[in-house]
Chain A
Amino acid sequence: MLAKRIIPCLDIKDGTTVKGINFLGLKNVGDPVELGRKYAEEGADELVYLDISATNEGRKTFAELVTRIAENLNIPFTVGGGLSSLEDAGVLLRAGADKVTVNSAAVRRPELIDEIAAKYGSQFVVVAIDAKMIDGRWVVTTNGGKRPSERELFSWAYEAQERGAGEILFTSMDHDGTKNGYPCETFARLSERLSIPIIASGGAGSVQDIADVLTVGKADAALAASIFHYGEIPIPVLKRELHQMNINVRM
């Protein structure tokens, strides 16, 4: 049976990991390659590396980093952050990324999804959507949740799928960072409307939160950052507990 995926997300700035301090036995907690390998050994099913560098120099360092990640990691990994053109996607593909995420750039110019899917295949394009509830409506935001757009979550997710997205990575900006759990009903609606996998992001504070979004929320995968980076819920513990709840995870 297809397993529900557990995906740690690593924020990268100028080639080093921003978070992640509670790992014993790591020579360099700042090294995204070593941290990624550690997660892979612990049972992570995939990894997401997000570039949060603000400078061109930082972005160049990131592409070099992707090459090193690909050389060292034996599980799939996705990269993203600031990707804005087909050329950017091509650079990351050639560096060895299995998938890329597009976010704000796709909201501004949705054809980007079609272009990447046509050239490199749907399996290569993950459309990341940051949305927040404004006046009872899920409004898609850009620039890390700062700018509300004209788009609405469900119609945008559907459009992204029709344009060739292979997966949707949805973050509720109302829940992100709260550690109070995911908006499971919204995830369930999204999953029922779409035929592509949904990755749930933002809000996990406990094993139960993750269990809920994978069952009630019908998500195919759960992505989290701080609960893993600070060792609050180690991946082997999370997977064992999910398994005991009869959720199908790769052990």
Chain B
Amino acid sequence: MIAVIDYDTGNLRSVENALRRLGGEYVVTDRADLIRRADHVLLPGVGEASSAMAKLRERGLDEVICSLTQPVLGICIGMQLMCRHSEEGDARCLAIFDADVRKLPSDMGLKVPHMGWDTVLWGPEAVTEPNVPQADKPQQVCAALQKVSPLLKDLPVVCYVYYVHSFAPTLCESTVAVTDYGVPFSAALQRDNFFGTQFHPEKSGATGERILQNFLRL
């Protein structure tokens, strides 16, 4: 059973539809016992980080999430809440990942929010991939691309995923995929049983379906 954590931050329907398409049995819940018992846990989220964090705390779900040992996947705001801190509403978050969530730069001639399909690089092979311009691979990005995550198994080292966001986590020890939009940021994070994607796998076509399938097979 998959538990989709419902903490009243908006529409969970697209995540539910994606799970249904993959044939996954799921329950949408804020009950700690159901979340603890689930084989996989999804933390979705839309909206604003500090109010989302407050809603998790109100329900005591902050401690529940940190204590989980089964695979947990945060999507978009869900993943941001698993970082240390978010600039959006100056929110102290769960600190599962050693990243801070910062506003994307709006002075680089790029439109914010970052919306649409963008490339994500992952794994050491992306560093040597000839189709990726050298400019997209500064040293900090190359360093962050050394780890391989089972979340991205069987995908090309450069693929397109769908984004809608104005804030993003910095690069850190747990970065397993990178997108560059004015600054390089963590497109996907992994630490032990905790995973996160800044993009929306439930809207990222066949690539996104593969990522969700990889997660559900863990």
Contacts and interface: CB of A to CB of B under 8 A. Distances in A.
A185 interface: no
A250 B206 CA distance: 13
Contacts of B13: 70, 94, 96
Contacts of B116: 2-3, 5, 45, 197, 220-221
Contacts of A233: none
Contacts of A221: 116
Nearest to A75: B205
A123 B118 contact: no
Interface string A236-251: 0000000000000011
Contacts of B106: 195
A74 B203 contact: yes
B37 interface: no
A85 interface: no
Interface stretch (B15-23, B60-68, B90-98, B141-149): B15-23
B11 A196 contact: no
Contact of A196 (B21, B110, B111, B205): B111
Contacts of A122: 113
Interface size class of A (residues with CB under 8 A): 20 to 34
A196 B115 CA distance: 10
B21 to A, nearest CB: 7
A221 B117 CA distance: 11
Interface string A122-149: 1100000000000000000000000000
A198 B208 CA distance: 25
Interface in A62-76: 70-72, 74-76
A210 interface: no
Q: Is the interface of A mostly helix, strand, loop or mixed?
A: loop
A1 B20 contact: no
Contact of B164 (A3, A94, A123): A123
Given A1-B119, A76-B162, A96-B17, A195 B113 contact: no
Contacts of A220: 111, 116
B160 interface: yes
Interface residues of B, number: 34
A126 to B, nearest CB: 11
A231 interface: no
A220 B118 CA distance: 13
A94 B181 CA distance: 31
B203 A98 contact: yes
Contact of B162 (A75, A121, A195, A197): A75
Nearest to B162: A76
A93 interface: yes
Contacts of B118: 1-3
Contacts of A250: 117, 160
A251 B117 CA distance: 11
A122 B166 CA distance: 11
Interface string B102-122: 000010001111111111000
A74 B117 contact: no
Nearest to A43: B205
A202 B111 CA distance: 24
B202 interface: yes
A66 to B, nearest CB: 11
Contacts of B115: 123, 166-167, 197
B112 to A, nearest CB: 8
A49 to B, nearest CB: 16
Given A1-B136, A5-B116, A71-B17, 18 more contacts: A1-B119, A2-B117, A2-B118, A3-B117, A3-B118, A3-B119, A5-B117, A70-B14, A74-B202, A74-B204, A74-B208, A94-B11, A96-B13, A98-B203, A121-B46, A166-B113, A195-B112, A220-B116
Interface of B: 10-11, 13-14, 17-18, 20-21, 46-47, 106, 110-119, 136, 160, 162, 164, 180-181, 202-206, 208-209
20 contacts: A2-B116, A2-B181, A3-B160, A72-B21, A74-B18, A74-B21, A74-B205, A74-B209, A93-B11, A94-B11, A96-B11, A96-B13, A120-B10, A121-B47, A123-B164, A197-B115, A220-B111, A220-B116, A250-B117, A251-B160
Interface of A: 1-3, 5, 40, 45, 70-72, 74-76, 93-94, 96, 98, 120-123, 166-167, 195-197, 220-221, 250-251
